[in-house]
Each structure stands twice: as C-alpha cells, then as structure tokens.
Amino acid sequence: MSGKLAGLLLLCAASFFIGLGGEAISRSQEGRVLETAREMRERGDYLVPYMLGQPRYEKPPLLYWFTAAGYALSGRVNELAGRVPVVLFGIGSVLLLYAMGCRQLGQRAGFFAGLALATGPLWVQFARLAETDVPQAFFVALALWAFLEQKPLLAWITIGVGCLNKGPAALVMPLVTLIVWRTWNGDGRVLLRDCRWWFVLVGLAIGLSWYLAVLWLRQESVNIFLVELGKLAVQAHERHRENLFYYFGEMLNFAPWSLVAFAAVPLAFWFQRRKPKAAQANNQSSLGFSPSPITDARTKVQTTLPQSATGLRFALTWFLATFIILLLTQNKQRHYMVVLLPPCALMAGWALDRFANWRTWIAPAVVAVCVLLAAGNVFKCAVIDPRRSEDVVLRDFIKTTMSQLQPGEEVVFLQSPAFGRNMIALAFYSGRIPETVIPAGLDQRLARDGPLAVITTAGPLPPPLRETLRAQVGSMTWTLWRRP
C-alpha cells in the first residue's frame, strides 16, 4: 500500500468514525432510514418497508437492507450500527475518486482529489448520516469508473443497483455525463458499445426488480404506491421550490474545494484549447519541418490529445453535467448536491495539481489545509454537535425510561404536538411504535388494573400516577409518570 493511499485511509477513518454514534437523530431523512430498517428487521419482511407500522413505498429498500445488516452484524439497534454502512460508502467513494484521478489526471491530482473529498465539510457531514445521498454518489462514480475502464456491463449493473438505492437519479447522471463526454471526444462508436441493448436491459431489470416484485406480490399496493408518490412530489415541490441559483450559495458548504473547482472551470477550458496546439507544435518541432498531408496522416496518433487532456474533459463534463442537472430540477435541497461533490473534488484536484507545478509550496500547503479541515470536522461532529443537540437529551430520556420499565408494564404517550415532530425518534429509541392516547383514552387505561407508564409533555397527571423522570428538551418538558 502506498503512503498516499494509507494517508487517505487514515484521514477517512478519523473524519468518519470518531464520535459516529454520539450524535442523536436530528434529521427526519435519517430517522426514516433507521426506523424503517429497525421495523424491517423486527417484522422479518425485507420486501416491503414499513415505518410506524405503515407501508413505505416512496423509496426503494437498498439502504434499508444495508442498515438492517448493520444492526444484525453488530447485534445492536442504534445510530452507530445504522450509520456504518454509509460511512463505508463514503470511504469507498474517496478511494474510487483517488483511483479515477490517478488514472485520468495523474497521481498527484488523484491524491489531491481524494483529500478534497475526504475533508470537505459537506461530504463529511452526510457520510456520517444514514441517508441515501452518499451511497447514490458512490454508485454514480462507480458506474462512470466502469465506463472509463471499458467495462460497460459492470457499469449498467451498478446503475441498476443504484436505482434500488434512490431511484432513477443513478441512471440519469452517469448516462448524461457519458453521452456528453463521448460526444465531445468524438467517440460515437464507443458510446454505442457502452449502451448495447442487452447491457441496458440488465440494468433496467435490476433497477425495476423491487418495484415489479412489490406490484406482483401485493396488488393492493398499486393505489397506495401511486398516492404516496404523488403526495410526496406535491409536498416536496411546495416546500423546496428554490431559485435557480440556490446551489451556488450552498456550494460554500464544501469550501474551500468548491471555490477551487469553480475557479478551475475557465482554466480547464483554456487548457483544452491550448493543449492540441501545443501537442501539434511539439510534433512539428521534433520532425524538423511542417508536415505535409502525407506526414499528417502518418503522425495522426502523435498529435492526438494526451491522457491527461482527455481525463480533464471527463472531469469537466462530469462536474458541469451534474451541476446543470441539479440547477434545472425544481425540487432543490442541500443534501441533493452530495452527488456533485466527487466531480467537484476531482476538478479541485486537477487545479491544485496545476498550481503545484507553478509553485512547489502548494502541495505541502494543501496537505496542511486538509489536516486542519479534518481536525475541525472531527471536533464539530464528535464534540460540538452532540453537546448542543436537544435530540441527545430526548434520546437519553427515552432510553432511561425504557430501562426503568418492568416486564409487562404498559407504555402510552399522552397526545401532544411535540410527538408529531418526534414520532420517528420515539419509535427508534423506545424500540416500539408509540401508542398515543387522548386524555379520555388515558382515563380508560387508568380504569384497568396493572402497571402503567405515561410519557407526556403536558402538565401534572392525576393520581395514582406519580412523576418519576423529567427532562428539559428545548422549551418542552418531557416527563414520565408511572402507576405501580
């Protein structure tokens, strides 16, 4: 193993694993993945995902499967076990980008690209969360790597598997990048070989397999499936209709590498215009005369673009195609741009490599900045965020409550607006789907015999209930009341 590769692995391990289980669930997207995987494992049904006891058809189940596997391998259902699969996808993306960069742009450019991705604050944030965006970025990068390595069948298999993670985005982004890049290079025949009909058919068969299985085995799910998708689309468009320039501002969350990447775009176009002329001039100089039409044909191979130039075309195409697709989508959210970060890091790696050719001190400065960024990311994710998060207080309260319950003791949640916002977290930390009751329903429960525990954010409850635990979560006071 080379020193550069070992350094990348060490940096990834520190950035992604330190304090990984310390932060509680703070995003609903992560809560849905963790809780759905928990219910999937509990029910033993790995075909139809369920959340809070209801079928969930909005997203395909690949990440639920990985998360449930994390629970099974660790023997525990907690944030750490659920997040490890995404961390592995995050590390795999860094190593894949390093390999692509070394092959297409040179060893140093690939190393800088890997460093940029491993230390970019936005990438580190989402690589530590059990969400679908980092795995999606991995599958897109892996498909493009397979196309670059002339393994189109592997590429289409990867696209199909990626569609089981987050739907058709895993098809659109690599395919658009491939078409533009091959067209730019004049590789129309190669593009046709990449997209042979039976390769495409294999990819589509894999990508549609779960949808077809659900519709075949559960015919009653058709209406629910369509209604849920329609509802999700309407709600998403209502809440996240940002302007065209939304992602320009959000790219600051990947600074400083996003700034380097954007600055590299005009430089890359200039380099593309300059390189063919330089290559042709070098050939004429080596021959000692201006080539005739005959010698032009004989030296055609020598005057073609070098590998670094075609690699730059690929990096530039990948970055701009992905960015334009994101700009044109109506539904814009910060986590959607995670798929843009690998090509952004690749462009930054190429630019930093160019700058290092200009000044020798650039390379050690880049490494120093990466080490400082990694330290800052670790301190934020492992120290600052868990301490200031109200979700940690709620997690500790629910876990302490569940540990105090006696065998057979009934638990109910007295209905409150706070429960709607925290229902997924309550289910995950309590290990059961919360049963909420209104005050009249609580009176009926009190009329029964047997031990009873009530969790509420309301005021004092009547005897024979007694308060046994209290926690202040923001402006809400959570209390546990029990009847012996």
> Torsion over CA of 353, 359, 365 and 370, rounded to 10 degrees?
-10
pLDDT tens-digit profile of 107-129? 999 999 999 999 999 999 999 99
Helix (H) or strand (E) holding 455: strand 452-456
305 pLDDT above the threshold of 80: no
Residue 313 has pLDDT above 80, yes or no: yes
Name residues whose C-beta falls within 8 Å of residue 98's C-beta, 6 or more positions apart in sequence. 4, 5, 8, 110, 111, 113, 114
Cα–Cα distance list, 37 to 43, 52, 53, 119, 435 (Å): 10, 11, 12, 29, 20
State the DSSP code for 381. I
Q: What is the pLDDT of residue 225?
A: 58
Concatenated DSSP letters of 67-90: HHHHHHHHT--SHHHHHHHHHHHH
One-letter identity of residue 71: Y
CA distance 404 to 399: 9
Cα separation of 180 and 39, whole Å? 43
pTM score: 0.89
Q: Encode pLDDT of 329-380 as tens digits.
A: 888 888 999 999 999 999 999 999 999 988 888 889 999 999 999 999 988 8
* Confidence label for 280 from pLDDT (cuts 50, 70 and 90): very low
SS3 414: strand
Smallest CA-to-CA distance from 17 within 117, 127, 107 is with 127
Q: 3-class DSSP state for residue 467?
A: strand
Amino acid at 322: T
Split at pLDDT 50, 70, 90, the class of 456 is confident
Residue-wise pLDDT for 187-210, tens only, equals 888 899 999 999 999 999 999 999
What mean pLDDT do residues 300-327 have? 76
Higher pLDDT, 249 or 91: 91
First CA to last CA distance, the chain: 62
Cα–Cα distance for residue pair 141/345, rounded to 1 Å: 12
Question: Please, which pLDDT band fits residue 384 given cuts at 50, 70 and 90?
Answer: confident
